[in-house]
Structure 1
Amino acid sequence: MKDKSVFNPDYQNSDISSKIVAGLSRISEAFKVLLWEKAKLLGLSPIQIQILIFIAYHKPNDSNVSYLAKEFNLTKPTISDAIKVLHQKGMITKNYSLTDSRSYSIELSDTGIKLVAETDDFAFPLKNGLKDIDEASLQQLFGTLSNLIYHLNQNGVLTVQRTCYGCKFYSKHQEKDYCNLLKTELLNTDIRLDCPEYEEKNRI
């Protein structure tokens, strides 16, 4: 019903879940504004910056058109166009497959590495906004966000996620989170949103 829309202030103000959704929307807008400002400063598009940052911090096997399309919920042609521009600007190199000449992974060039050093601070204002919040509140907020991200992935809203909850190494031991790869119990603050060792567990 229209009256129960999360965007209807009258309903929103009486429903905490709607307030949270509205708050996440505001934060999403702030993220986009900060990214756009950095993109304009460097003469790149937002997605080009995001691709460069992703390649800098993730496995080479994930730095290809197909995976990047899923990561950013964009079409392969859109990602290919962005990569083409980055290649023309000398910011990336392409490593073609020995078995398939159409397939390639992407690495940063020296120019790309320097650019990432200038770009990946764009989200610092968001991080700085959390500095006055006490540790217990931050831990509670993180726990809520990590569960929400996993829920959205399980419902097909987020195509890719690399959080502990969806990993084959994750399990519950006596109602406690546990990593079977690290052989250790996981505290709330140990749960990862983007784990390098993540391997998707089989869905039943």
Structure 2
Amino acid sequence: MNKKSVFNPEQQQNDLSSKIITGLERISQAFKALLWEKAKELGLSPIQIQILIFIAYHKSEFNNVSFLALEFNVTKPTISDAIRVLDKKGYIIKDYSSSDNRSYSILLSGAGKGIVEKTEHFASPLENQMDAIGTEEKENLFKTLSKLIYQLNRTGVLTVQRTCFACKYYQKTTANHYCHLLEKQLKHSDIRLDCVEFEEKS
């Protein structure tokens, strides 16, 4: 077996990148565990909960099967199956008001909004731990994470990202960052990972 692997504890001892990747994996496991716990409590799947929360906070043009498949890096049939269950449970409404009768936007029903209220804080244990970390440490961590997310998007690992770095309004300045939509300088802590005004660079 090839010993050169980020999952090899011996390599981790001498390679900081391997340690960081392993750490990110552990955090991912914690996120999944918290989501699964809430999903089992309500008789839903993790992706169904993620879809409901996403719909609650994003504009209607994003709330369709095709975009959700890209957003969550899964297939359209996977999203369609999740939507079918959510529709059957009465948590969503299919809006066919667009010009294309074959497609629809997904809206939350009253019951769906209730589910969002019960689930949207599932990551609070992670948030609580972050709140205990100093501001400077968090700013440095965010700077690294935001760059990593952008690079993963550029290489095709992450298919959809609404981060400033990929937006047509963004400009890197000598000292900092600038948003032409807001017409203001941005500190790195102002960089958004999920911007509602995002428009992809051409």
TM-score for the superposition, normalised by structure 2: 0.97
Cα contact 2:176–2:188 (8 A) shared by 1: no
Moved more, 67-76 or 88-97: 88-97
Which residue number corresponds to residue 164 of structure 2? 164
User: Within 1, Cα distance between the matches of 2:178 and 2:98?
Assistant: 39
User: Within 2, Cα distance between the matches of 1:173 and 1:150?
Assistant: 17
> Tell me, which stretches of 5 or more residues in structure 1 are unaligned?
none
Cα contact 1:66–1:76 (8 A) shared by 2: yes
Which residue number corresponds to residue 117 of structure 1? 117
- The CA RMSD measured in Å over matched residues stands at 1.1
State the one-letter code of the partner of 1:73: N
Cα contact 2:98–2:104 (8 A) shared by 1: no
**Structure-2 change in CA distance of 1:98 and 1:22 (3 Å):** closer
Corresponding residue pairs, total: 202
Q: What SS is found at the alignment partner of 2:14? A: coil
**Aligned ranges for residues 1-20 of structure 1 at < 5 Å?**
2-20=2-20
User: Within 2, Cα distance between the matches of 1:133 and 1:78?
Assistant: 37
CA drift at 1:98: 4.4
User: Within 1, Cα distance between the matches of 2:153 and 2:126?
Assistant: 23
Which residue number corresponds to residue 25 of structure 2? 25
Which residue number corresponds to residue 48 of structure 1? 48
CA drift at 1:97: 4.2
State the one-letter code of the partner of 1:126: L
User: Within 2, Cα distance between the matches of 1:101 and 1:134?
Assistant: 51
**Aligned residues: percent identity?**
62
Cα contact 1:97–1:103 (8 A) shared by 2: no
User: Within 1, Cα distance between the matches of 2:128 and 2:53?
Assistant: 20
CA drift at 1:101: 2.0
- Post-superposition CA distance 1:133-181 (Å, at most 9, x none): 1110000000100000000000000000011000010001224211000
Q: What SS is found at the alignment partner of 1:139? A: helix
Which residue number corresponds to residue 83 of structure 2? 83
State the one-letter code of the partner of 2:28: S
Which residue number corresponds to residue 135 of structure 1? 135
Moved more, 93-102 or 192-201: 93-102
Which residue number corresponds to residue 68 of structure 2? 68
4+ runs deviating over 4 angstroms: none
CA drift at 1:29: 0.5
**Structure-2 change in CA distance of 1:107 and 1:11 (3 Å):** same
User: Within 1, Cα distance between the matches of 2:132 and 2:112?
Assistant: 34
> Tell me, which stretches of 5 or more residues in structure 2 are unaligned?
none
TM-score for the superposition, normalised by structure 1: 0.96
Which residue number corresponds to residue 152 of structure 2? 152
User: Within 1, Cα distance between the matches of 2:67 and 2:73?
Assistant: 10
